[in-house]
Amino acid sequence: MCERAAELGHSLLFPAICRYCGARIYLFATPEGGFAIFDDVGGDWPKHDCWGVHQAATHYTDLDPTFSRDYPFPVPAHAQHRTPTAGSGVVGTVLREDRPSRPGGLWESLIFDGTSVLRVAFADGQYVGRCIRGFVQLRHGQAVLTAVEVLSPPEPAAAGQRQRPTPTELTQLRASDLWTLQALANTLAATHPKPADTLRQALDAFLNGYTLTGVFFVARLLLTAPIPTSVKANLVRLTLVGLVDLKLHSVLPGLVARLSGGTIAALNSETRRSLDRATKLAELLKKHMGPQRLREALDRRFTKELRYFQRTEGPLVDEFKQFWQVT
């Protein structure tokens, strides 16, 4: 959201449906990194607060990877297209505008209101990326939005919460890797429901910045779960880039030694080269830094994430501790 706001050159207010409680919410981001989630637009601009989102939230991630490719905004692929009825009110973000074909004509536009893409027209344009509010009138069979108002929260609400660095900043771990993880979970759901749940736990940890926890869940499947070798090959890359993100290369040789020959053989050439480079670097670090300093680096990261793990995955705490002590 903040990256898209920076590209637009102005703040972005975008409607969505909360993945936790199902309520309509409004995600707000500034080009400078400010972020907030609102229950409604206007008035006191109340912040959203439910069992999965607190008012001080600094990020929000929709786990549905099926966004439409037709728009440069996160519009679900399943969103219905419709024309609003005369007299109805519309609140949403403008996705696209088409200039009038003749002087004095109307701008034909598409607006996303959180659930549907609405076809409306304006007397003027230049609203792409803006959240607007207006009322629909029917003119010559065309839905025209009138009394248009651009919405933006005032200060201090607009400041929201500046996005703070997550406990483990993701650099090598790309968004595409996370969507791959979600896709793998969906693929396994019917035949391997427990591993699929574990992958969702890993995804949640990665998205919240707890990379060591995410790596634990992924590596746990790699080493113990009876899942297809092709899936395990994908998980090797996630384990690799997660540990590289944390600069914990020294952990890799021990994990690689525990992988099956079939999993190693299934790796693609890019992952194999990356794994070789990271393993060689791990050996150099071990030689020049010494095992004790490398162990201390792992222990610091472990301590940093243990509280999160205890809060979210209580029954597995002992296994989490044992895994990283052995590693």
Look up residue 261 and give its two tokens.
């020959």
- State how far the Cα of 313 lies from the Cα of 19, in Å rounded to an integer: 20
How confident is the model over 112-137, as pLDDT tens digits?
999 999 999 988 878 899 999 888 98
Look up residue 83 and give its two tokens.
């024309």
**Helix, strand, or coil (residue 138):** strand
- State how far the Cα of 166 lies from the Cα of 170, in Å rounded to an integer: 8
Q: Enumerate the H helices of the chain as residue ranges.
A: 2-8, 175-188, 193-207, 211-224, 229-245, 252-256, 261-265, 269-289, 291-312, 317-326
Which pLDDT does position 309 carry in this prediction?
A: 66
Q: Where are the domains of the chain?
A: 1-164, 175-326
> Does residue 20 contact residue 50 with C-beta atoms inside 8 Å?
yes
**Helix, strand, or coil (residue 241):** helix
Q: Quick one: pLDDT band at residue 163, thresholds 50, 70, 90? A: very low
Which pLDDT does position 103 carry in this prediction?
A: 81
Which pLDDT does position 308 carry in this prediction?
A: 65
Burial letters for 314-326: b for 16+ Cβ neighbours within 10 Å, e otherwise? eebeeebeebbee
Report the range out of 59-73, 220-234, 276-290 with the highest average pLDDT. Answer: 220-234
Please report the sign of the dihedral spanned by the C-alpha atoms of residue 190, residue 195, residue 196, residue 197: positive
Residue range 139-162: mean pLDDT, rounded: 74
Amino acid at 7: E
Quote the mean pLDDT of the chain: 79
Percent of the chain exceeding pLDDT 70 equals 80
Does the pLDDT value for residue 39 go beyond 50? yes
Does the pLDDT value for residue 271 go beyond 70? yes
Bridge partners, 281 (sequence order): none
- State how far the Cα of 316 lies from the Cα of 274, in Å rounded to an integer: 30
Which pLDDT does position 83 carry in this prediction?
A: 93
Residue range 76-80: mean pLDDT, rounded: 88
Look up residue 45 and give its two tokens.
């601009």
- Chain position carrying tokens 């243990």: 306
> Does residue 2 contact residue 35 with C-beta atoms inside 8 Å?
yes
Cα R_g (the chain), whole angstroms: 24
Count how many residues are written for the chain.
327
Phi and psi angles of residue 287, each rounded to the nearest 5 degrees, phi first: -70, -40
Among candidates 187, 189, 253, 196, which has minimal Cα distance to 221? 196
pTM for the complete prediction?
0.49
Phi-psi region of 209 (alpha: psi -120 to 50; beta: other; left: phi over 0): left
Please report the sign of the dihedral spanned by the C-alpha atoms of residue 85, residue 81, residue 2, residue 45: positive
Which pLDDT does position 166 carry in this prediction?
A: 40
- For the chain, the farthest-separated pair of C-alpha atoms sits apart, in whole angstroms, at 79
Label the pairing between strands 116-122 and 80-82. parallel
How far, in whole angstroms, is CA 252 from its chain's centroid?
26
Among candidates 163, 157, 161, which has minimal Cα distance to 46? 157
